[in-house]
């Protein structure tokens, strides 16, 4: 928190109290109106089911792969050792919890019959989607920064090839919707790349990486313009002073210009990457199970759209708020230096 007062200049304490009261009345009225509207439809809130979409206990059926009979069941601690022997004298050994054993000695079993049930904790679809969103966003941010920094420097380069390449890339990416770029990466470039890899017996690239590439390249074009504006905002005399001290252009850019530019571009960079975290919700269209797609799947199976979409929005808010706080921390550290 900064020590700067947020009170409007020339306004008294009563002015602040009155308008803050108006704000909270409006906020609570909106929330109550939403609650009242949900009571007018035939809908039952089931918040108690939400934790199961983060972590749940699943029942895994242990099944027989051969046809035969149960020849032996021995207790070993809390587990039971089951031996199934087939007609060709082949046998299978199973270790299942004794409390969930589903067969007895001399029982006949067929392929696919359940021998026992084992319980194990599994990650829910929403938690899985949250981790995918985090992974996609983190990798895309790193590549977006590298690509944007290089393109931003190329954009102000005196080399015509670098400058024209940067302009072409920036205008091409900024002039087309992100959703269309995701489709191009997945259906066009992804198909071409994977077909070429298949010809050389190289494993295929998963759709996740085409999604990350589309986000990183999209963000990189905007970061490039932010970097360019940041560098050009540093007074030209800074570069001239560094060169007069005998520094090469590379070292002057690295040690003099970029540190100053970085302090200025940090807030717009944060806004760009917060926008990218939210844009990652589009990756669901190419079958990447990120947070939005995971929520959509949970809604389709549970028929709880109200709770789950509120939860989805809250999780995105937490992600973007945490990122915003991290950037503010970086800004404070840079100011203190």
**10 Å Cβ neighbour count for 203?**
8
Q: Which two tokens stand for residue 337?
A: 């230096």
Q: Phi-psi category of 211—alpha, beta or left, where left has phi over 0 and alpha has psi -120 to 50? A: alpha
Note the pLDDT of residue 6: 60
By the 8 A CB rule, do 219 and 277 touch?
no
pLDDT in tens, 101-159: 888 888 888 888 888 898 889 899 999 999 999 999 999 999 999 999 999 999 988 89
pLDDT reading at 4 higher than 70: no
Mean pLDDT of 153-177: 92
pLDDT in tens, 11-63: 778 888 899 999 999 999 999 998 888 888 888 888 888 998 999 888 889 88
Residue 7: band (very low, low, confident or very high) from pLDDT cuts 50, 70, 90: low
Residue 5: band (very low, low, confident or very high) from pLDDT cuts 50, 70, 90: low
Q: Phi-psi category of 303—alpha, beta or left, where left has phi over 0 and alpha has psi -120 to 50? A: left
Note the pLDDT of residue 139: 95
Note the pLDDT of residue 302: 87
Note the pLDDT of residue 290: 92
Place of tokens 């995701």: 182
Q: Between 29 and 248, where is the model more confident?
A: 29
pLDDT reading at 1 higher than 60: no
Q: Which two tokens stand for residue 44?
A: 């039952």
pLDDT reading at 192 higher than 50: yes
pLDDT reading at 88 higher than 80: no
Note the pLDDT of residue 107: 87
Note the pLDDT of residue 185: 94
Note the pLDDT of residue 2: 44
Note the pLDDT of residue 8: 65
pLDDT reading at 165 higher than 90: yes
Question: For the chain, how many residues are written?
Answer: 337
Distance, in Å, from the CA atom of 150 to the CA atom of 145, rounded to the nearest integer, reads 9
* Sequential DSSP letters for 268-302: HHHHHHHHHHHHGGGGGGGT---HHHHHHHHHHHH
Note the pLDDT of residue 337: 66
Q: How far is CA 202 from CA 183, 194, 199, 207, in A?
A: 23, 9, 8, 16
pLDDT reading at 286 higher than 70: yes
Per the confidence metrics, is the pTM higher than 0.85?
A: no
Note the pLDDT of residue 26: 96
Average pLDDT of the chain is 88
pLDDT reading at 212 higher than 90: yes
């Amino acid at each position: 928190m900064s020590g700067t007062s947020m009170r409007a200049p020339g306004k008294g304490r009563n002015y602040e109290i009155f308008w803050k009261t108006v704000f909270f009345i409006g906020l609570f009225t909106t929330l109550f109106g939403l609650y009242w509207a949900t009571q007018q439809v035939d809908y039952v809130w089931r918040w108690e089911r939400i934790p199961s979409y983060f972590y749940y206990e699943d029942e895994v059926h242990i099944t027989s792969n051969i046809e035969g009979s149960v020849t032996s069941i021995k207790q070993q601690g809390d587990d039971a050792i089951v031996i199934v022997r087939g007609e060709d004298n082949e046998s299978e050994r199973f270790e299942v919890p004794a409390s969930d054993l589903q067969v007895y000695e001399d029982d006949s079993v067929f392929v696919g019959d359940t021998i026992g049930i084992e319980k194990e904790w599994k990650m829910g679809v929403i938690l899985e989607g949250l981790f995918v969103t985090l992974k996609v966003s983190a990798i895309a941010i790193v590549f977006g920064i590298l690509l944007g920094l290089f393109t931003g420097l190329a954009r102000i380069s005196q080399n015509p090839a670098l400058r024209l390449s940067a302009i072409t890339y920036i205008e091409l990416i900024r002039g087309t919707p992100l959703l269309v770029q995701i489709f191009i990466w997945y259906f066009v470039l992804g198909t071409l790349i994977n077909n070429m890899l298949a010809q050389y017996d190289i494993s295929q690239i998963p759709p996740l990486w085409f999604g990350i590439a589309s986000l990183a390249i999209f963000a990189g074009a905007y970061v490039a313009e932010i970097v360019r504006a940041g560098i050009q905002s540093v007074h030209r005399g800074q570069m001239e002073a560094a060169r007069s001290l005998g520094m090469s252009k590379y070292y002057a850019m690295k040690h003099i210009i970029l540190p100053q530019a970085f302090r200025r571009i940090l807030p717009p960079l944060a806004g760009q990457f917060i926008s990218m975290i939210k844009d990652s919700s589009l990756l669901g269209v190419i079958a990447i199970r990120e947070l939005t797609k995971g929520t959509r799947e949970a809604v389709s199976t549970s028929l709880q759209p109200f709770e789950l979409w509120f939860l989805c929005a809250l999780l995105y808010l937490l992600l973007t708020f945490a990122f915003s706080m991290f950037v503010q921390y970086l800004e404070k550290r840079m100011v203190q230096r």
